[in-house]
Amino acid sequence: MWKYILKRLLLLIFTLFLVITVTFFLMQIMPGTPFNNPKLTPEALAQLKTTYGLDLPLWQQYLNYLIGAAHGDFGTSFQYQNQPVSMLIGQRLPVSAQLGAQALVVGVIAGLFMGAASARNKNNKIDGTLGVISTLGISIPSFILGIVLVYVFGFKWPLFPVSGWGDSFSQTILPTIALAVSPAAVTTRFVRSEMIESLGSDYVQLAKAKGLSAKEIVNQHAYRNSMIPVLTLIGPMAAGLLTGSTLIEQIFSIPGIGQQFVLSIPSKDFPVIMGTTIVYSAMLMVMILITDILTAIIDPRVRLQ
């Protein structure tokens, strides 16, 4: 077990190193420069380059960046002068994390209930309705859902605030729903098929033969065994949430790292783009790692390789 975790951690660090290296060199060949203000004199430009360490040879810049990144220092933003990237990201990370966690929890819990309800009422109206809802949930991208929610509950019937963060809990409701729908739909479909499978399994047959009521069978046997595999979904879901939250943060004006990322693209704020890229990749990798380890701990049938 420990050997497995160690191996995965090493692979994670190696992957992160690759991501840093590739982004660093991609940024070097990116077209355009943030210093294209025609008012800049050559002297001022040289001054700026020295400040940001851009006058050093490439390999030295790369080495500096690597050493900095290992210490959590991702350089200084081009756009907001004197603001370290790590500080910019550090301020915004908790906001994005809260939004993502809320959406994930709401989505997975809703999915567990809907999936179980769907499986227990297999092939009748409830199952059909939930099937339609979950298929819709998968095909509507979260940002379109976000726009529709803003229109319906923000403008048409103004029930919830549609922008900002941190002033009241009600601000978080619409963005959370917009992000939670896709995990909920994925979980519903998954739990439904898992549970139908376990309802037909031998141990459920045995429980029936033993004389347990349908409710007991579902609660004690079928449900528990269908919940474990849901864990394996959390990794891919986190990836979806990352993409979704970027646009959702923009739509709802939420000061998270997604919004920062989007803002830094047109202004060619390369240090911020790189920093966010690394943080995003690290977050996803850690989520996948945690999921894999949890699955291995909970389900002994998962063979560690």
Partner 1 sequence: MAANTQDFVIVGAQSSEANEHISKPALSFWQDAWRRLKLNKLAVISMWFLVIILAFAVLSNFFVPQKQANAFNSDKVGVYKNLPPNSGLPIPGWNGKIKAPGDTTATDVYESQGVPENKKFILGTDNIGRSVAKRVTVGLRISLLVAIVATLIDLVVGVGYGVFAGWKGGWIDNVMQRIIEILSSIPNLIIVTMLGLLLGGGVLSIILAIAMTGWLGMARQVRNMTLTLKERDYVLAAQSLGESSFKIAVKHLIPNMAGTIIVQIMMTVPTAIMFEAVLSAINLGVKPPTASLGSLISDAQAMLQFYPYQVLIPSAVLVLVSLAFILLGDGLRDAFDPRASED
Rounded distance, CA 85 to CA 73, Å?
Answer: 7
Rounded distance, CA 51 to CA 286, Å?
Answer: 34
Residue type, 101: A
Does 138 bind partner 1 (CB under 8 A)? Our answer is yes
Q: Which of 4, 9, 10, 15 binds partner 1 (CB under 8 A)?
A: 15
Tokens describing residue 294: 């949890």
Does 30 bind partner 1 (CB under 8 A)? Our answer is yes
85, 55, 78, 66: which is closest to 18 by C-alpha? Answer: 66
The residues in 168-207 that bind partner 1, with binding defined as CB under 8 A, are 196-197, 200
Does 29 bind partner 1 (CB under 8 A)? Our answer is yes
| Interface characters, 263-282, with partner 1 (x: CB under 8 A) | --xx------x---x--xx-
DSSP 16-85: HHHHHHHHHHHHHH-S--S---TT--HHHHHHHHHHTTTTS-HHHHHHHHHHHHHTT---B-SSSTT-BH
Q: Which of 114, 183, 285, 291 binds partner 1 (CB under 8 A)?
A: 285
142, 208, 219, 151: which is closest to 177 by C-alpha? Answer: 142
Which residues neighbour 301 within 8 Å (Cβ) at sequence distance 6 or greater? none
* Closer residue to partner 1 in complex, CB, 1/29: 29
**Contact (CB, 8 A) for 150 and 174:** yes
Number of residues that bind partner 1 (CB under 8 A): 46
Q: Which of 114, 247, 257, 272 binds partner 1 (CB under 8 A)?
A: 247
Does 13 bind partner 1 (CB under 8 A)? Our answer is no
**Contact (CB, 8 A) for 126 and 118:** yes
Q: Which of 118, 171, 187, 246 binds partner 1 (CB under 8 A)?
A: 246
The minimum distance between CB 53 and partner 1, in angstroms, equals 22
Binding site for partner 1 (CB under 8 A): 11-12, 15, 18-19, 23, 26, 29-31, 122, 135-136, 138-141, 143-144, 147-148, 150-151, 154-155, 196-197, 200, 239, 242-243, 246-247, 250-251, 261-262, 265-266, 273, 277, 280-281, 284-285, 288
